[in-house]
Amino acid sequence: MITTQDELVAALRVGGEIHCDSGVVIPLTETMRVTVPCRIIGGHFTREAGAAFEVTTSRVEFDGVRIEGGGPDAGYDVTQKLIHVRGSKDDPITGVDVHGCRLEGSRGDNVWLEWCTACTVHDNMISRFLYSGIMVISGNRLTINGNVIADAPLTAGVPNTYGIALTDVTNVAADRSRHITVVGNHVSLIDWEGIDTHGGESLTITGNTVLGCPRGIALITGNATRVLAPTHCLVTGNVIDVAGARRPALPGIFLAGISGTPASATIVGNQIVGYRTPIHTSFWSRGETYIGNNSAPQVPWSPIRMGADYHPDAESAPQYLVDGDTVHLRGGVIPKAGGVSARVEIGSMPDAVTWPTQLTHIGHVKGADPEAGDGTLAVTPEGALQLLYGNGSDTHTYFLTGSYRAP
């Protein structure tokens, strides 16, 4: 049974099963190098600064290990990674399993997986840290599930914190994190983003609870130097609730690429609570993205900007809502005085997600009186609502009822 740092160093050189006494606190004065396959069982370790364990070999297991960092009050330490698994592009690490561990008080990161394949991080308790709970750099075929991750405040000089983040550092498409499943985690009180990817590919984020985070789930390109957009991701069945957030709320789910490099994802069946903007998209591939059947629509009921030829009905103002690839209309408009030529431009919808790829006829519209005129309600590729083929000169209310697809 390991009870001292020297005994641990000696055991790590040999590998195999290493049983550590959890009833004895072992201060680590240097990074523990794991260079041969082993299973570390139990133990209670502290590390004031720098990495606690550095893994550079495959087939390593951390089972029920407790590690305490220097604590948030000691300030940010970019080198503090409580478990640092470090592979390389030419020699990725496989078969690492971190489970049942308690990691707390990191001045930087907790579990950091760099160039890893077919590894798992599950059923851990991670709390009180200054950068990331679980960070994946160029990972492939990983599973992150059942972890409880909480309490990452923003501190001076550190503008971002993450519960779970999936990214790369080379900014090259071949090196992006891909085919990773993030499922059944509970992430709370992360003062930037609960779950995040910068440019990940084919990621599955499902069944997670994200509570009290300004931005719940982010599928984005990253900072201004990044050129990779997230693609072919799935975000489904998550509960995202802003209650308790310590910073101003951002969108609950954010999907964004950059100009010329669109993002894509399927975002369905999520429960999004308390966010003024539940879902926001920017520079996304409309043909490869579906957003729908969430508790909050992609665009909630929003006012139509009135055009030159109509007033809004005072009791039922015209509005639009976007759910998935379908745009719904409601409310009424009243023609301004004038002939048929002045009754075309109803208004416009500023959200690009409402814009069809071609002129689209929505349906027949008639004024609310037997003697009123009528016409065909249509929307242009620029989001302008028009009454085409109209007749009449009345000023009765015309109700905009109908829906259309905007793929």
Q: Are 122 and 143 in contact (CB under 8 A)?
A: yes
Which pLDDT score, from 0 to 100, does residue 324 have? 78
Q: How many CB atoms lie within 10 A of CB 120?
A: 17
Give per-10-residue mean pLDDT for the chain (407 aa).
Answer: 97 97 97 98 98 98 98 96 97 98 98 98 98 98 98 93 96 95 98 97 98 98 89 98 96 95 96 94 89 90 94 95 90 82 87 88 94 94 93 91 88
Residues 361, 353: Cα–Cα separation, whole Å: 17
Greatest CA span in the chain, whole angstroms?
95
Q: Read off the tokens for 230.
A: 């997230």
Phi, psi of 389 (to 5 degrees): 55, 35
Helix (H) or strand (E) holding 267: strand 265-268
The pLDDT, as a whole number, for residue 223 is 83
- Token reading at 142: 């990983």
**The two structure tokens encoding residue 313:** 């009905």
277 to 12, 80, 251, 301: CA distances (angstroms): 50, 35, 5, 12
Cα(120)–Cα(126) distance, rounded to whole angstroms? 15
Q: Taking CA 117 as the corner, what is the angle to CA 111 and CA 122, rounded to the nearest 5 degrees? A: 45
pLDDT of residue 152: 98
Sheet of 319-323: strand order equals 299-303, 319-323, 326-330, 402-405
**Residue 386 DSSP one-character state:** E
Give the pLDDT score at 341. Answer: 53
pLDDT of residue 352: 82
Measured between alpha carbons, how far is residue 382 from residues 25, 348, 396 in Å? 65, 8, 27
Q: Which residues contact 79 (CB under 8 A, 6 or more apart)?
A: 49, 50, 51, 108
Cα 208 to Cα 176: distance, rounded to the nearest angstrom = 22
Q: What is the DSSP letter of 353?
A: G
In order of their start, the domains of the chain are: 5-292 (2.160.20.10), 299-405 (2.60.40.2460)
Long-range Cβ contacts of 3-10 (<8 Å, 24+ apart): 5/29, 5/30, 5/32, 8/32, 8/43
Q: What are phi and psi of 396, to 5 degrees?
A: -85, 165
pLDDT for 209 equals 98
Q: Is the dihedral of CA 197, 203, 173, 139 positive or negative?
A: positive
Nearest to 249 by CA among 282, 219, 272: 272
Q: 116: closest CA among 145, 95, 146, 144?
A: 95
- Closest residue by Cα to residue 234 from 200, 284, 209: 200
Say which residues have a Cβ less than 8 Å from residue 73's Cβ, sequence separation at least 6.
none
- Angle at alpha carbon of residue 397, lines to 329 and 311, rounded to 5°: 80
Q: What pTM did the predictor assign?
A: 0.91
* Location of structure tokens 């604590």: 71
List the structure tokens of 348.
């416009």
User: What residue ranges in 35-78 does DSSP mark as E strands?
Assistant: 38-41, 44-46, 53-55, 60-63, 66-68
Q: If DSSP codes are grouped into helix, strand and coil, which group holds residue 286?
A: helix
